[in-house]
Chains A and B, each alone.
Chain A
């Protein structure tokens, strides 16, 4: 049994009006415990609608979501439970900070979980340490933090609920390359330490190629599902879905088309460099 099972999940917005839109279309997806899954697709492909079902923020029009085999929509208690077990960090979460202090903002989730004061305190400190937010920031207003610190505070607020699944929608958008790298490292470190599951929604192929599994959405359906080397091999289909290839996969494709004999599964700069150097080692490409 998978940790999360999406069964025939369908979501229709504005049903019965001229604006009716099928955002998720009879979709089945199993997500195992401990997976690092990248969810990719262009704007409007259904990514955000999909993740809003993982913690019962949206109710499906048809189908359902199972968490450890239990239907998360079966009762109010089940929905509430799902909300704590699946932590969702939406795009630009720094706009969702609202408490008077950084500490209170991070404590908001665990407080709603009705934990003891002592447990809340432990979790706030641990979550803040995880995202690299120092305790001398705790009494400041979240609005006084820099952009990067705000994003960390918002993510800490979700981590403090100690979810089993962490879902992040474009967590690195607007960060500079060093900030991007730093945040990703922290997220992967959280996963290693907690044994949790990560679902990353992203357009950035350099982030996508660090996931173990990629699911490509188009018009509310899954069009590709597999490890990066399989998904990035389907370059035509990705471009058709409005997505980019990682630069290394793109260059490898151009070289193959020019007659250079490269292996199929290339999507990182290191893989491509090794493949080119091994050809050179053989004295160049056989004619």
Chain B
């Protein structure tokens, strides 16, 4: 299948910056993939994300979304409909006083017919589990609920790609579970391609593919099991590994033989139990 996102040799330098934020990045993403993007602050993750729906345009190289070049002005609207963005702070993304008005905001701006707006808003709110809150005031919701409303606002546009830039950084554990669970479900059940930028290794463990960025380059690319097995290299990049990996490393160093692919607490416990009996 053709990639939904194709990036070729993308380079971008911010004005007055000492070096490039992105330095020759190439990447293909197959439709329906759940991709997690990790990297230390300043590694280029957010700059990459902003190229995916033409908030930033390449200074050299190319970004193609479903075959459309982001530099082509005529493709701007179709690209923005295909690629929805969700940012870190839910309070900066919510504009209306009622949840369902907020989700309808973009559709109203596009002049979509009212009955169609109703249908799409209801469906989007159901998909994120916020339908029962449709008449609530957003500012009285929890952080996780607000982020799910922000995701619904993007979903109402019918995107094929969802790009989330640290959507859980301001949330408590319950909120994080709600948001990551919602995103994962949208990928698995609706086939939406997901790019999740995060500092939380336990979120990355649930992805199909993990990208590690450093100084504007993609330095690792593989399944979570492949990437987290390279623990020493990750530490050298100022990143950590999931606690499950750290535990298995310690046990293996003491002579046990556990698979580094046991990344969830459940898989890790099962592997240890088997090795002990």
Of chain A, the residue at the smallest CB distance from B273 is A258
User: Are the C-beta atoms of B250 and A285 separated by less than 8 Å?
Assistant: no
Asked if A189 is an interface residue, CB under 8 A from chain B, the answer is no
B15-43 Cβ-contact flags toward A at 8 Å (1 or 0): 00000000000000000000000011110
Contacts of A43 in B (CB 8 A): 142-144, 171-172, 174-175
B238-277 Cβ-contact flags toward A at 8 Å (1 or 0): 1110111011001100101000000001101110110111
> Shortest Cβ distance from A171 into chain B, in angstroms?
13
Query: In the complex, what distance in Å separates the CA atom of A74 from the CA atom of B270?
Result: 58
Tell me the chain A residues, 126-180 only, with Cβ under 8 Å from chain B. 146-148, 173-179
User: Are the C-beta atoms of B172 and A273 separated by less than 8 Å?
Assistant: no
The segment from A3-11, A81-89, A109-117, A244-252 found at the interface with B is A244-252
User: Are the C-beta atoms of A269 and B247 separated by less than 8 Å?
Assistant: yes
Asked if B199 is an interface residue, CB under 8 A from chain A, the answer is yes
Choose one: B39, B174, B268, B272; the contact of A42 (CB below 8 Å): B174
Total of A-B residue pairs, C-beta within 8 Å: 110
Of chain A, the residue at the smallest CB distance from B38 is A176
Given contacts A43-B171, A244-B173, A255-B273, are A177 and B238 in contact (CB under 8 A)? Answer: yes
User: How many interface residues does B have (CB within 8 Å)?
Assistant: 40
Of chain A, the residue at the smallest CB distance from B39 is A176
A243-273 Cβ-contact flags toward B at 8 Å (1 or 0): 1101110110011001110000000011011
> Shortest Cβ distance from B71 into chain A, in angstroms?
29
Asked if B122 is an interface residue, CB under 8 A from chain A, the answer is no
Contacts of A146 in B (CB 8 A): 41-42
Given contacts A173-B169, A251-B265, A273-B251, are A178 and B175 in contact (CB under 8 A)? Answer: no
List chain B positions with a Cβ less than 8 A from chain A: 39-42, 88, 142-144, 166, 169-175, 199, 202, 238-240, 242-244, 246-247, 250-251, 254, 256, 265-266, 268-270, 272-273, 275-277
Q: List 16 A-B contacts (CB under 8 A).
A: A42-B174, A43-B143, A43-B144, A43-B174, A173-B169, A177-B40, A243-B173, A246-B243, A247-B202, A247-B242, A251-B244, A259-B273, A273-B247, A273-B254, A280-B276, A284-B276
